[in-house]
Amino acid sequence: MLATLPQPTIIQSAEPEAGTQLPASILVIYTGGTVGMEYNRRGELVPMKFERIRKKMPELRQLHMNLAVLSLPEAIDSSNVVPADWLLMARIISENYARYDGFVVLHGTDTMAYSAAALSYLLENLGKPVIFTGAQVPVGRIRTDARRNLLTALDIAAARHPMVNTARVPEVCVFFNDLLIRGNRAKKVESQQYSAFRSENYPPLARAGIEVAFNDQGIRLLPAGPLCPHQRLDDRVVLLKLFPGITERVVRTILEIDDLRGCVLETYGSGNAPTAPWFLRCLREAHERDVHLLNVSQCEEGRVIQGQYETSAHFADLGIIGGDDITTEAAITKLMFVLGLHRGSAETSRLLTQDLRGEITVV
């Protein structure tokens, strides 16, 4: 992690207009990704200096808001994102929190859902919008989606509730194409079309048409306390996806990794798994080594209901935690976050079953 953070560069200042509220101040954090690419003289896509975005997007001048840009020293391809990058993003937001009304994080699409989920846990008591967005096509291309995504994300980050004049969406979210999705509910589902993200188990927080229509009932309420940023994640976790024919050797190789603390177990349907004695024995031994096992479904829709079928009836006795309707992306990052709190085993298990930031639906 950088000892000294890069400083924002002001790219647009707006004067207050008579009879209107003060213009919103938004910090755009450029981490990398297609949205900030341009072609060099050899026709290759390379990261541009994002402070020049107003030359690429003169329509930004039509937004009545104060804009600043902070670029990471080295743009990150989202396939290379690691937990240290999430901690850096959280630190940037927390150290600039008092100076801005909202934040837009420009990020590559491949791991955007993981990053948004991680930030939702790290930024406890968040009371301002943190909107992740990006593009499938670079901003310099004619049919780019970068302009639409960025302009709407900025609009949402600046939005105030008309009744109480507070942040309209005080959450970590992903905005893409025409949907605003809770960050820890998002999943990338498309690599060739503009509608790259969906939320299968929770309705969108807003839809962007001619106007942005907010789903106020689905948006989390403002927190009662001040922002509480976290700066610890435990990356000693693993993902074990079940498939017909998986062998004991494979399962043991994964679950017996030295110093393993947690495992997201991707099971079938509503949380079902093989009942072979060797498989149950592997799970029991992992639990006895204090490896926390979080059961999530391979299905995009629905939820884990342990015990609904015989093939998951033994899971509770083995100490396996049902993940309800959590996504794999939110489950992995939740494990890292909760384990990073360094609580006792019982408290860790309890936190993993709780809805911390709207990532699961309590029924």
Residues with a catalytic annotation lie at 34
Contact 114, 333 (CB under 8 A): yes
